[in-house]
């Protein structure tokens, strides 16, 4: 079930980036792609075991790998920062060009260049 979630999130994010003309939808698609990668790595760390990596005496079993989870905390922070900067740039573009549509922004750039 979780693998399906990763595939759906990835496909939605990729579709949002490729098919949309709005910058905000592209940013949301980028965020969905980031989320799918984070979920994929957390799931890959779970493949080794099913117990939390807490040291305790007398409890046996295979623990999950904590390294992917620790790395994904960093990926979440970086993804959030990229999303915030992208949204700030989108606001700046909207104030400059008056639109968030890619084609209108390109037309505005070409008009100002001539």
Write down the pLDDT at residue 1: 79
Give the residue from 69, 39, 64, 70 showing the smallest Cα distance to 50. 64
- The segments of the chain whose pLDDT lies below 70 read 46-61
Write down the pLDDT at residue 56: 62
Write down the pLDDT at residue 113: 80
Neighbours of 73 (CB within 10 A): 10
Write down the pLDDT at residue 68: 79
Measured CA to CA, the distance from residue 4 to residue 111 in angstroms comes to 45
> Which residues on adjacent β-strands are paired with residue 22?
101
User: Rounded to the nearest 10 degrees, what angle do helices 66-97 and 102-113 cross at?
Assistant: 50
Do 32 and 20 form a contact (C-beta atoms < 8 A)? no
Domains of the chain: 2-48+65-113 (1.10.287.3510)
Write down the pLDDT at residue 58: 62
């Amino acid at each position: 079930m979780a693998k399906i979630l990763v595939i759906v999130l990835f496909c939605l994010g990729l579709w949002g980036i490729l098919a949309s003309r709005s910058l905000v939808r592209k940013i949301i698609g980028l965020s969905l792609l980031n989320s799918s990668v984070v979920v994929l790595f957390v799931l890959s760390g779970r493949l080794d075991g099913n117990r939390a990596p807490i040291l305790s005496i007398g409890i046996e079993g295979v623990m999950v790998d904590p390294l992917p989870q620790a790395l994904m905390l960093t990926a979440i922070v970086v993804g959030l920062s990229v999303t915030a900067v992208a949204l700030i740039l989108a606001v700046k573009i909207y104030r400059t060009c008056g639109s968030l549509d890619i084609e209108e922004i390109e037309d505005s750039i070409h008009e100002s260049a001539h």
